[in-house]
Amino acid sequence: MAALAETLDRETPDATVVSAARRAGTPPPEAVPVLLPWVRTQSVNVVRHAAALRPFRAGEFGNGAAAPSDGHLQATNQLLSGLRRLLIAETRKVSRAAELATAEPSSQRLAEMVALKERAHRLVMATEKVWDFYFELFGQRQSRYADWLLSCDRIALDCYQVAYMGAGKAKPIPAPPPFSYMRTGFSPATFRRRIPLSRLGKQLNPFPLIELPYHRLVNPWTLGAVLHEVSHNLHSDMGMNRSVPRRIAARLLQAGLPAAVANTWTRWNRETFADMSGLLLGGSTIVGSLMDVIGRGPVTTITFSPSGVHPTPYLRGLVSCELLGRMGFPRRAERYRRMWRRIYPNPGAANLPPLLLSSFEKACPVVVNAICFEPYEELGGKSLAQVIPYGPKEDLMVEEAARRLAAGNDPGIIPARFLIGAARRALERRLTRPGAIARNFYRELARR
């Protein structure tokens, strides 16, 4: 016994711990079993980790207008509930395996337990990835930027309302509406409803997400990006994602354009639709907002991507000028066109295919007409320009709203989506300081 005690004392980092344990009548740390407690701990860890990934609660992210709606929370919780059911089933297997390994701590039982633990842990991590994604998104609504994001939500909702009310027939009402969030980076993005997202472990996204770079939110006159990204979602939710590319291809071929040209424009259909729809939603100043994005160095702007889904930026700007003229603003369209060509006087200097460039003047109006001015069954026999009308009358509303916004006055009943154009016009006319425009813009949208 003396020899054993001497050995224990040598292995103990602090021999006083052993002596104190003996005086208290408790076994020293080295005498406490480690295997069975460790086995039980594995079950406890997995069960508690799974339980912590609980559904989100109403009011958890605030109770103000900027907080996630009940619809957004319910849709997210429904997504999480399916993952949690699988997770709970796996944790029960781990608990049962731990019980068996405790009763019979053989190598086989222990191996079965740790294998199940690893499997459950992978599922826990996958569920946590989804939970964390929405926790971060919803958590932004408790930050100083909550009103900025709420403002973008209201613009997006206005876009949906005008499109669905303007359609020539009743359509199923999509819910929940788009949800905006902030992210660093250069380009905005969107994630459409019911598509698998890698950020969610390929789970289906339950509602449209509008991702906006911080620098766009700082400068609200650049938020034509919201209209563009919302238009991607309208393209899908209104069921036009098949008819639009077919229409573009058919009209270009009927106009006698080569198949290679038709194929390229067809590949560009989603982005071109979003540009066209965004311009109709926001009005004439949205051309400038688009050019904020695509107006980059000459090499970038005139370079053609053989597999890209975006039109070559140089051509993309001119397509918007074409629609702007068709909307009733031919002078403004020509000014933008001249400006664009002055900035990029040599579009053939990069790799833009000569056939695509030489056929542009013929193809561009065909594409704009196919997207915006032809009736679609999905729109109840109306054209996109009829569903989302914008012309000189609406432009006068934006002009008046720009003056009111600059003065800090109530811009009135003007639709939320038009306030982007009003902010841009106030900036371009130098009606007041940029900071005052931004402040008044968000204050007006947040109070609605």
265 and 200 in one domain?
Answer: yes
Q: How far is CA 355 from CA 96, 117, 258, 262, 266, in A?
A: 69, 60, 9, 11, 16
> Is residue 18 over pLDDT 60?
no
Q: Which domain holds residue 47?
A: 35-142
- Final residue before a domain boundary, out of 392, 417, 438: 392
**CA-CA-CA-CA torsion for 87, 93, 97, 99, nearest 10 degrees?**
90
Region 19-23: mean pLDDT is 54
Other CB atoms within 10 Å distance of the CB of residue 235: 20
What is the model's pLDDT at position 72? 96
Q: Does residue 2 sit within a domain? A: no
Q: Does residue 3 sit within a domain? A: no
Strand 209-213 and strand 189-191: the pairing is antiparallel
Q: Does residue 27 sit within a domain? A: no
Rounded CA separation 392/396 (Å): 6
In which band, very low, low, confident or very high, does the pLDDT at 5 lie, cut at 50, 70 and 90?
Answer: very low
What is the model's pLDDT at position 121? 87
For the chain, how many structural domains are there in total?
Answer: 3
Task: Work out the percent of the chain whose per-residue pLDDT is above 70.
Answer: 93
Rounded CA separation 213/192 (Å): 18
The per-residue pLDDT for range 212-267, each reduced to its tens digit, is 999 999 999 999 999 999 999 999 999 999 999 999 999 999 999 999 999 999 99
The per-residue pLDDT for range 315-360, each reduced to its tens digit, is 999 999 999 999 999 999 999 999 999 999 999 999 999 999 999 9
401 and 273 in one domain?
Answer: no
217 and 251 in one domain?
Answer: yes
Identify which has the larger pLDDT, 79 or 22: 79
Rounded CA separation 447/387 (Å): 28
434 and 360 in one domain?
Answer: no
**Paired tokens of 197:** 């997202």
403 and 384 in one domain?
Answer: no
In which band, very low, low, confident or very high, does the pLDDT at 22 lie, cut at 50, 70 and 90?
Answer: low
313 and 292 in one domain?
Answer: yes
Q: Does residue 26 sit within a domain? A: no
Identify which has the larger pLDDT, 2 or 191: 191
In which band, very low, low, confident or very high, does the pLDDT at 25 lie, cut at 50, 70 and 90?
Answer: low
b/e string for 11-43 if b means 16 or more Cβ within 10 A?
Answer: ebeeeeebeebeeeeeebeeeeeeeeeebeebb
> Is residue 148 over pLDDT 90?
yes
Q: Does residue 335 sit within a domain? A: yes
115 and 55 in one domain?
Answer: yes
356 and 419 in one domain?
Answer: no
Q: Does residue 39 sit within a domain? A: yes
What is the model's pLDDT at position 186? 78
What is the model's pLDDT at position 201? 84
Confidence (pTM) = 0.87
Task: Work out the percent of the chain whose per-residue pLDDT is above 90.
Answer: 80
- Final residue before a domain boundary, out of 366, 392, 418: 392
> Is residue 78 over pLDDT 60?
yes
**Paired tokens of 224:** 């034509």
What is the model's pLDDT at position 4? 27
Q: Does residue 76 sit within a domain? A: yes
Rounded CA separation 442/435 (Å): 11
- Final residue before a domain boundary, out of 376, 392, 408: 392
The mean pLDDT value of the chain amounts to 91
201 and 105 in one domain?
Answer: no
The per-residue pLDDT for range 372-389, each reduced to its tens digit, is 999 999 999 999 999 999
125 and 152 in one domain?
Answer: no
Rounded CA separation 170/185 (Å): 38
Q: Does residue 28 sit within a domain? A: no
317 and 182 in one domain?
Answer: yes
In which band, very low, low, confident or very high, does the pLDDT at 12 lie, cut at 50, 70 and 90?
Answer: very low
What is the model's pLDDT at position 387? 98
> Is residue 52 over pLDDT 50?
yes
273 and 360 in one domain?
Answer: yes
Whether residue 399 contacts residue 425, with contact meaning beta carbons closer than 8 Å, is answered with yes
In which band, very low, low, confident or very high, does the pLDDT at 362 lie, cut at 50, 70 and 90?
Answer: very high
What is the model's pLDDT at position 8? 29
Helix, strand, or coil (residue 186): coil
Least confident of 26-30, 55-59, 132-136: 26-30
